[in-house]
Structure 1
Amino acid sequence: MKVLVTGAAGFIGYHVVKKLSNSNIQVVGLDNLNDYYDVNLKLSRLKELGIDIKSNFFEQKKIKGKNNVYFYKEDICNTAFIESLFKKEKFDIVIHLAAQAGVRYSITNPDAYIDSNIYGFYNILKNCKNHKIDHFIYASSSSVYGNSRKTPFSTLDSVNEPISLYAATKKSNELLAHTYSHLYNLKTTGLRFFTVYGPWGRPDMAYFKFVKAILADENIPVYNKGKLKRDFTYIDDIVNGIDRIVTKGFISNSENKNYSIYNIGNGNPIELMEFITIIEKHLKKKAKIEMLPMQEGDVYKTWAEISDLEKNYDYTPNTTLDFGIKKFVDWYLG
């Protein structure tokens, strides 16, 4: 089996590539190594996969990594390259994780989201159709639920009121996937991720910023005066879920026999202040907290209803927040 993983140098992408490459799967990673956050972190992830390149490497050639890993540096918006890549590599499955991330960044830099999350997504999707890919698995987000007061969030809920451009692009991805599933019998599985955290995480995420600020004796911004809840999901639980989907194959949970959308989270929302207390515990240091009002585009609570994923794929998130934060802190300090 040959699998394409886009966004392979990203947080989730790196862990997915590492997991799949340890089985009898040939993994081809793709990433443009953009500078939304420190490129050196992305290069370090790739180095862990046996791919040692420089950030200014632009040649579109295939680089061999460890185990069954290969890598290309290129943008998903490059139409000619993506078409040639699909034609050359003949993938069985595509796991599309490449996207412009960040809710608040989408407010100040909307063009980046339209380019990557709309056109880039379409570029991958149409090539999955044209090259008869067996299964297209892609990243959506819990942000599509907006500020829904109905909890836990179910994939049966209406998600027509996004409150950030980022959320709107992810909802658009789901609609495009549904249309292609209907018109072309392309099997698509969308995964709505819920606040993924862990080692090798993104520096723009709250837990990463909190640890950095506490160690530097700086204030940490706590929005809505701490009255927020998040369904924090440890990276290993996310990756194990994706691995089960790849291994077991497509299973529809909708009226469209070729389309699925799943929540992939922990199913246990945690108060933000409890989250900070756990970080303090493992850093052995108190946080300096600056209470602030609610941020534009942010949501009050996330909570994943995951029974479909449990039933169809035996998905069992079992990492406690205490364990997960300790793993992140150990990695950060290491």
Structure 2
Amino acid sequence: MRLPLAMKVPALVVTAALSAALLGACGDSTTEENSKSKTVSVEAANGTVAIAAPAKKIVSLSPTATEMLFAIGAGDQVVAADALSNFPSDAPKTDMQGMTPNVDAILNYEPDLVVLSFDPGTIESQLKKAKVPVLVEAPATSLADSYDQIQDLGIATGKKEEASDVVQKMTEDIDAAVKSAGELTERSYYHESDATYYSATSKTFVGEIYSKFKLKNIADEADTAGTGYPQLSAEHIVNKAPDFIFLADTASGGQTAQTVAARPGWNTIPAVQNGKVVELNEDISSRWGPRTVEFAVSVSTALKG
């Protein structure tokens, strides 16, 4: 999976490993409500976080979290979002960077909640000193993680029912996309995260989507380090001759079906020969929010075509 665009490879591998550790440390979100203080406790990747709910002045430094917040109807509660939060179009995008956040810039918005996908240093501890709660919702490693994060944000914003509705609809729509692909047979694929051949295995969030369509990942056996995001060689890809190639580096890397076909030796790959090089929407394929449904539809469409 390509993580948010600011997380460039090979930093992606380090971030993914940290995210997996954080996610492994947390369980399902729980809520404890005190009628006097009106606080809720949310179990996120950074542990139990006490929030005065509903949070009404949220700073989101995660494009995925921004999409989730708007999807559950909490968009009006977001006062600022990072520079990569380009969806929906009315998100309050700023020049703040999620990977290199500035505490003073964040505090200028007087937030009552800050949402991060990654803490590059001491941002969480600095915000805690300012008595601002922080939710770290790390890059999801599975659909279950994504659903859990949506529920977390629902608890924090007073939109629990709406969050449950979003999760239910995502589940139903992804299942419908799989069903619409017709009879599924095992075929191979290569997911390209960037033009240096970093990929994502079946153990990742994006890999889980492909697995629902019974697609076999040619990156799995190459992941000797177990990061989930191995760097393949051109020789490996050509020798494995995938039936499909999915490009998640169309915008940042300028890759297209034509550039792939022009690579030495790649004209022998069935995906290239049969017109099965799929140009994905880079944002949708790198995030783990509600628009994952659109990613699943793209895969379904490719299999039917």
Q: TM-score, normalised by structure 2?
A: 0.32
